[in-house]
């Protein structure tokens, strides 16, 4: 009898461990789909999330700054971070839109922030990259470059990567701001770097896209287009996707830089936005031809295009089967990602250069009218909030069972 009881006891212990593992796993998955911590959501800049997007264009809140908002928001731990041309970095509550803190810089702020390990990284036209405490907004460190910093930083492996209009890409220690390496190109680096498989990919005003070693900055390859590359590369399915001012969207082999395909997606220095990648499709837009494009990722063939009322400058966000993208007609659009069919649009008071960040059923984006908008629907409590409650409830139940079995064993042994 004692052996039988002990077998049951060990079975409960194993079940307890499995429960904790499952809860931890789903907690990690939820954390990955309930944040948008940097430009285009992740280090590969795919712009894709399996989380929930807004099904309606309901206004949840509007936050007003003192000048236009070009910066694409980052969302982490229930806080929305962004910069404004009023030279200020803001942190606001994601649910209420109430300001938590602000930090003044010495120049206009165009790029998106990146948030990692409780630090907010963002560049400014005062030539600095700033590292701020994510909770308080206090300055941790700053790093001076030789020109304006309009490249959105990316954080990977304890290193923050960003470009400057001094023609360089920089790699700094993410904790201390210590210099690791820089890579010199022949033009401004406004393109936000993407990091994948130990390689950093970025574009330059010298018409090239570069691939360099993430640890050393050593060049692996470069590819020359016929125009400026302001677009930020996207890594997906072994390829690098980006746009050039030569009106082409490109797909290159990520390992060697060989051309896979190129597709005409506009005219008159049209492809300035950064594409998105999801489910075998590349989504991009034209700054002057007013179109949103969906291209076959393997061939570059156009699957569909949708015409807005203005140029498309923003990087699209793909959430499940919906594309969210801003236009210079002052609207942000929701389109069916498979067909291009219109779902809804949201009107602001200015051109939209700010790429949307989409988290927990809400799209956050800025406008040239000086506002940041939260649009969609919001649940009363997110999964991340209910997760700890479920976690502790299961622990308590399992502990009660273990104690009961232990008492039973003790009585039997007596």
Of residues 374, 366, 375, the one with CA closest to residue 86? 366
380-408 in b/e form (b: 16+ CB < 10 A) is eebbbeebeeeeeeeeeebeeeeeebeee
**CA 197 from chain center: how many Å?**
18
pLDDT at position 264 is 87
Separation between Cα atoms, residue 316 and residue 328, nearest integer Å: 14
Instruction: Give the pLDDT of residue 392.
Output: 40
- The H or E element that residue 90 is part of is strand 88-93
Beta bridge partners of 135: none
d(CA 348, CA 331): 6
Alpha-carbon torsion angle 262, 264, 290, 308, nearest 10: -70
All residue ranges of the chain with pLDDT < 50 are 2, 5-6, 9, 14-15, 17-33, 380-394
Using DSSP's 3-state secondary structure scheme, residue 78 falls into: coil
Q: Please state, in angstroms and rounded to a whole number, the distance separating the CA atoms of residues 135 and 25.
A: 26
Element (H, E) at 7: helix 2-33
Geometric angle at alpha carbon 181, from 176 and 182, rounded to 5°: 120
Parallel/antiparallel/unpaired status of strands 322-326 and 331-336: antiparallel
Task: Convert the pLDDT of each residue in 61-115 to its tens digit.
Answer: 999 999 999 999 999 999 999 999 999 999 999 999 999 999 999 999 999 999 9
Cα–Cα distances (Å) from 340 to 327, 352, 400, in that order, read 15, 20, 54
Q: Is the dihedral of CA 210, 212, 218, 222 positive or negative?
A: negative
Half-sphere exposure of 140 (CA within 13 A, CB side): 21
DSSP string, 143-163: EE-SS---SPPEEETTEEEEE
Q: Classify residue 130 as exposed, middle or buried by CB count within 10 Å of its CB (0-12, 13-18, 19+).
A: buried
CA 72/CA 353 separation, integer angstroms: 8
Instruction: Collapse the DSSP code of 412 into the 3-class scheme (helix H, G, I; strand E, B; otherwise coil) and give the result.
Output: helix
Question: What's the distance, Cα to Cα, between the start and end of the chain in Å?
Answer: 13
Q: 62, 348 in Cβ contact below 8 A?
A: no
The sign of the torsion formed by the CA atoms of 336, 238, 365, 386 equals positive
pTM: 0.85
CB contact at 8 A, 234 and 194:
yes
Q: Cβ contacts of residue 190 below 8 Å, gap of 6+?
A: 150, 151, 163, 165, 205, 230
Output the six-digit token pair for 143: 């790093």
Give the strand order in the sheet containing 291-296: 276-278, 281-285, 291-296, 302-307
- 163 has which bridge partners? 169
């Amino acid at each position: 009898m004692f052996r039988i009881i002990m077998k049951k006891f060990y079975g409960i212990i194993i079940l307890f461990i499995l429960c904790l593992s499952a809860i931890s796993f789903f907690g990690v998955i939820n954390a990955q789909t309930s944040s948008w911590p940097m430009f285009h959501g992740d280090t590969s800049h795919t712009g894709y999330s399996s989380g929930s997007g807004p099904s309606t264009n309901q206004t949840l809140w509007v936050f007003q700054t003192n000048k236009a908002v070009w910066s694409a928001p980052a969302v982490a731990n229930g806080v929305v971070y962004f910069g404004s041309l009023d030279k200020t970095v803001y942190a606001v509550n994601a649910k209420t839109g109430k300001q938590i803190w602000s930090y003044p810089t010495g120049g206009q702020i165009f790029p998106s922030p990146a948030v990692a390990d409780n630090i907010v990284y963002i560049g400014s036209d005062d030539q600095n990259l700033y590292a701020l405490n994510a909770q308080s907004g206090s300055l941790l460190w700053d790093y001076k470059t030789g020109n304006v910093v309009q490249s959105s930083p990316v954080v990977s492996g304890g290193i923050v990567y960003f470009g400057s209009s001094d023609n360089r890409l920089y790699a700094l220690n993410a904790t201390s701001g210590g210099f690791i390496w820089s890579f010199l190109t022949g033009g401004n680096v406004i393109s936000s770097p993407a990091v994948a498989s130990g390689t950093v990919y970025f574009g330059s005003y010298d018409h090239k896209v570069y691939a360099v070693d993430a640890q050393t900055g050593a060049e692996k390859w470069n590819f020359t287009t016929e125009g400026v590359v302001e677009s930020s590369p996207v890594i997906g399915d072994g390829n690098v996707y980006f746009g050039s001012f030569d009106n082409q969207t490109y797909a290159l082999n990520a390992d060697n830089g060989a051309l896979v395909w190129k597709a005409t997606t506009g005219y008159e220095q049209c492809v300035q936005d950064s594409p998105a990648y999801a489910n075998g499709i590349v989504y991009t837009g034209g700054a002057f031809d007013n179109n949103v494009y969906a291209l076959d990722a393997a061939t570059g063939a156009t699957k569909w295009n949708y015409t807005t009322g203005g140029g498309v400058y923003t990087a699209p966000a793909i959430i499940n089967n919906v594309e969210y993208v801003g236009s210079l007609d002052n609207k942000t659009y929701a389109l069916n990602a498979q067909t291009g069919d219109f779902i809804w649009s949201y009107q602001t008071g200015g051109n939209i250069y700010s790429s949307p960040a989409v988290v927990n059923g809400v799209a956050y984006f800025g406008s040239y009218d000086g506002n940041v908008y939260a649009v969609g629907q919001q649940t009363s409590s997110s999964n991340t909030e209910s997760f700890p409650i479920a976690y502790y409830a299961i622990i308590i139940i399992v502990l009660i069972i273990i104690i009961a079995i232990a008492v039973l064993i003790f009585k039997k042994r007596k």
